[in-house]
Amino acid sequence: MEQLKDILSRRSEIKGWMIQVENIHRRERYFLLDKNEIATDQDREVKQQNIRLRIFVNKKDPARQGEAEKMIKFSLPLEEQVDSAVRSALETDIQKWELPAKLDVMLPKLKTADLKMLENLDKVMQDLTEQIYSVALKKRDVIFNSAELFLSVHDYETHLSNGLTHHSNRTKIFAEAAFSTLLAKRSDEYLEYRWASGLKELSIDELFNEAAERARFTSLVVKKPESGSYFVLVDSAVLDLLMHDYLTQLSGGSKYLKLPFIEVGQELIKGAEGDLINLKLDPYLDYGADTTAISPDGLLQKPMDVVRDNRVLETLSGKQYSDYLNKQPTTVRGNLVMPPGKYSRDQLISLQPKILEVLQFSALFTDPYSGTFSSEIRLGRIFDREKGTVEYIKGGSLSGSIFANFKNVRFSDKLVTRSTFSPGMSASGESASGYFGPEYALLADVSVVG
Amino acid sequence: MKRAVLSGDFKKLRKELSKILPLLEQDPKWHVSVFAEKRASCVYSADLRKTNVSDNMVMGAVLRVYNGYTLFEEAVDDLSIENFQKSAKELVTRVKNSQSKGQYRPYKTLSWKERLKTKLDPEISSQIPENPGAGTEVHFGISYVQDPAIVTADQRLQKLKDTLVKVQDLALKAGLKKEDITFVVAREGFGFEESIYIDRESNISQAIYRQSFTVVIMSGEHRVFHRVGGLGGREIIDETKDKDLLDCLKDLKGLQNAGRLKPGRYRVVFGPDVTGVLAHEAFGHSQEGDTCARGRSQAWELYKSGEKAGNQHATIINNPAIYRDGTHSFAAWGSYFFDEEGWLAAEHVLIEEGKLEVPMTNFTSALRLGISRTANGKRESFANGVYTRQTNTYFKAGKETLEELLSKIDYGFLAMASAGGMEDPKGMGIQVGIAYLEEVKNGKLTGKIFRGPAGGDIQMTGYTPDVLNSIIGVSKVECETADPDHAAYPFNKAGGCGKYHKELVVAGCGGPYLLLDQVILG
């Protein structure tokens, strides 16, 4: 690292640089049913180091600069790799911006990693494996098919040309379970998966029991939903995805690039009449997926109210876009926090004569710019208060819009924590989203075709 | 014709890797292998305010031991001999300490003689020397006309900037005002991918150039895009013509005044991109051997029972050995010479005229299902596990022209712009996303664009066998003319695929035009 820093500091063309180092230790197991036993199909261990370098170079035009990103390998000649990055950067052209000055405050000590996983990843893998053996073969009226368990420990270092050096770590868990049921003519299944930042956020028993219970529900499916407009109950996974996606319209990058953007003072949902949305970014919450003291460009991250009572209080800009938009930088990282609503889940269901609860979407596709979303319904149920029935449905598609369907939204009173880590093949690597918010929301006037 | 060769680093690494096998072969019943890869890629981009270059590299090796029950892997990116020795020792200890559960399924490493019994594409067989043996270093290189590695960043960025100007000029021809174009980005991706697979009987390597060119154009919230990609030389990038950009811009103009689709059942022509997603999500994912081995696919039951799952038009093929994509001179996006478990690429029919064939497989799923291996063992990177993954998946081409297919629609749509999809292997549901539709009346395109009921994407849903039974027409590859096709395979676009909500890999996506009746759109 010191050699790389030394090379970078000796290059006169380079005006600044950022280095992100990630050391990963991962354990993975894939389980399946084999001759009435839980067999391990694959058992993997991964040791990997990712080093991402971003450099900034001066251009003849003082209002412009060049930039390039490069994955660095310490095992390859460093000088050549830096040369290549400099050559690339010199060819690019971007409006000038300055890295922030070195932070001179004490950074908060945050809880981001599970201590047991840090201590002995193999032991945690073995303990969870034993739990899977036990819960997967529990006697049920559905069949266990398969499971996956991935555990990883990530050590991060950030080094900036302004002198800042920061160390942090994070733990991640991915677990999934699939059960199937035999119907009269054909079988169906339910796959449940969870990401977690640590062991406290994940219960193997709960995950497997829920997957098994919902697999049993698939045997109760009688039809597709009838086409029409529905009040739809969605869970925190959907809220997490939609709200994080919609934040794109509050980012300084969107404003600069002339993409759809919502200004400070404007309503998040025009003409909202239901529960008014409150959003906060909190980078300090214990074991949040996006808990972090600093942003990639070295700015202190602090809790920040973004939307209060449906009114935008603050938009999100790191140092680059703040310089471009001539405003102060803000928090750009952090867990999304939404306060609870007033209703229990049962009350939400009883608010309307007929409610469609979506237990699982096949794949919810969202568009951050139009605010629309759509998906096939993998499994759902319709609560009909007048008939006093609960009918399980599968199939058909749902299409909605944040603008229209959140106007009269109602949130549940129970809060949940969710972590989601999205893998990526790009140089910028994984993205993480933490959600601390209501467990359910009831949306209105959602179009469904059966 | 020129072919890509291994880099100097990987030539050296190949020698070191051969020394690792004896360290892993601690039990004669074990099947051991080593896989190493380097994927160096660079994305050049230009939008209306900036240009950028982003360089990525994934490099590592996987040491593998299969003990008859479980496949054990140790994946490392420290490629020093000292680390290999240490990792091999750790892996062997892990295998020895493991609990063996389930049925014992031994594997005999295949010799070259056995490998060569399979029918191979001439692009593969022509690169294998005569009488190869365990020690023969066999290399496969992608062919190319214009060397993509010598193009400078300046040349690439200039082409992107020229494209931005072209888009703005063409916008006027499409009936848009200059200020209507609020955002444009042009991106070129260039990758050099090399890999080595060694077991006790084979020592093979491959080197591939991967290139893509993407243009995204926005007007407010409305977005259209054009993308071309393939494996080969710089000639791939030249495939983007003004007409492609103009067509995008016309769609963008149409989106400004788009209607909202009334949910319901329609007669629809799926364009190649959407057809590709349908093939991929239908039998496709359900025909992935690991999903079958996990008891998670209905396709395995249908295959065993012989029950039909589509009509005579439903022939879907997975093929990693497409070295001429459609009428192009370059290879299709999802192609390679061997998969990441060292199996040589070959065409595999997944469903033929509605009747399911054996699934495609990776190493462990073939053993578990007791069927042949196919070249579908893929991983996101060396750091990820192997699954059965698709390469280029497409419907077999038919005999009709596009005009003939459209002429069979009184009222319906043409779906050209795909927007993702999702499989449901056990329940047999299917979701195919369509960004927007173009209206067809009395066999003619009206130019009117429709979005989904809420103003977003449209989702086609249904029960997969029902959808495959609703196909009433299939186009030729060269669908603009009634002349016989010259192309051996349909065009495959540059796409990607996630599995089980993660594990992203590249996948070719394409096929002929399909005419479907009574399609559920909402």
Is the pTM of the predicted complex or chain greater than 0.90? yes
CB-CB neighbors (< 8 A) of A396 in chain B: 461, 520, 522
Best CA proximity match to A138, nearest among A204, A209, A41, A206: A209
Inter-chain residue contact A48 with B383, CB threshold 8 Å: yes
Look up the CATH number of the domain holding residue A212: 3.30.2290.10
pLDDT at A430 (0 to 100): 65
Q: What is the mean pLDDT of chain A?
A: 94
Q: Is A170 helix (H, G, I), strand (E, B) or coil?
A: strand
C-alpha span between A409 and A342 (Å, rounded): 12
Statement to judge: residues A273 and A408 lie in one domain: yes
- Residues in A touching B183 (Cβ below 8 Å): 257-259
Considering the domain architecture, whether residues A367 and A238 belong to the same structural domain is answered as: yes
Do residues A292 and A253 both lie within one domain?
yes
Interface check for A45 against chain B (CB to CB < 8 A): the answer is: yes
The boundaries of the domain holding residue A293 are 222-449
CB-based contact A405 B364, cutoff 8 Å: no
**pLDDT per residue as tens, chain B (522 positions):** 899 999 999 999 999 999 999 999 999 999 999 999 999 999 999 999 999 999 999 999 999 999 999 999 999 999 999 999 999 999 999 999 999 999 999 999 999 999 999 999 999 999 999 999 999 999 999 999 999 999 999 999 999 999 999 999 999 999 999 899 999 999 999 999 999 999 999 999 999 999 999 999 999 999 999 999 999 999 999 988 999 999 999 999 999 999 999 999 999 999 999 999 999 999 999 999 999 999 999 999 999 999 999 999 999 999 999 999 999 999 999 999 999 999 999 999 999 999 999 999 999 999 999 999 999 999 999 999 999 999 999 999 999 999 999 999 999 999 999 999 998 999 999 999 999 999 999 999 999 999 999 999 999 999 999 999 999 999 999 999 999 999 999 999 899 998 877 889 999 989 999 999 999 999
- Domains of chain B, by residue range, sit at 2-42+52-112, 148-256, 259-521
**Using alpha carbons only, what angle is made at residue A429 by residues A426 and A433, rounded to the nearest 5 degrees?**
125
Amino acid occupying residue A125: M
Contact list in A for residue B463 (CB cut-off 8 A) is 395
| One domain, residues A182 and A291 | no
Among chain A residues, the shortest Cα distance to B68 is held by: A41
Mutate to test the interface with A, among B50, B58, B423 (most CBs of A within 10 A): B50
pLDDT over 90 at A428, yes or no: no
- The pLDDT, as a whole number, for residue A429 is 54
- Which tokens in the block code for residue B153? 């960043």
Cα–Cα distance, B74 to B397 (Å, whole number): 42
* pLDDT value at A269 more than 50: yes
Total Cβ atoms within 10 A of residue A162: 16
| Domain termination residue (choose one: A219, A239, A265) | A219
What pLDDT score was predicted for residue A219?
86
Pick from A219, A250, A272: which residue ends a domain? A219
pLDDT band at A312 (very low <50, low <70, confident <90, very high): very high
A372 touches chain B (CB under 8 A): yes
Instruction: Note whether B223 contacts A256, CB cutoff 8 Å.
Output: no
Cβ distance B65 to B24 under 8 Å? yes
Query: Do A280 and A293 meet the contact criterion of CB atoms below 8 Å apart?
Result: no
Q: Which two tokens stand for residue B482?
A: 């009634």
The sign of the CA dihedral A121, A122, A127, A131 is positive
Closest partner residue to A145 among B296, B428, B433, by Cβ? B296
Q: Are residues A379 and A443 in the same domain?
A: yes
How far apart CA B116 and CA B113 sit, in angstroms, is 5
Q: How many residues does chain B have?
A: 522
What is the amino acid identity at position A196? Answer: A
Chain centroid to CA A374: 18
Cβ within 8 Å, pair A404-B72: no
Say if residues B381 and B41 touch (Cβ distance below 8 Å). no
Those residues with Cβ within 8 angstroms of residue B252's Cβ, 6 or more apart along the chain or in another chain? B174, B176, B180, B217, B218, B219, B222, B223, B224
Find which of B96, B187, B422, B463 to mutate to test the A interface (most A CBs within 10 Å of its CB): B422
Structure tokens at A216: 């049993």
pLDDT at A426: 40
ipTM of the complex: 0.95
Percent of chain A with pLDDT strictly greater than 70: 97
Where is the domain boundary, A199, A219, A239?
A219
Clarify whether residues A123 and A20 are in a common domain: yes
Are residues A192 and A260 both part of a single domain? no
Contact B183 A259 (CB under 8 A): yes
- Read off the DSSP letter of residue B180: G
The token pair at B370 is 């007791």
The total number of structural domains in chain A stands at: 2
Query: Is A87 at the interface with chain B, CB within 8 A?
Result: yes
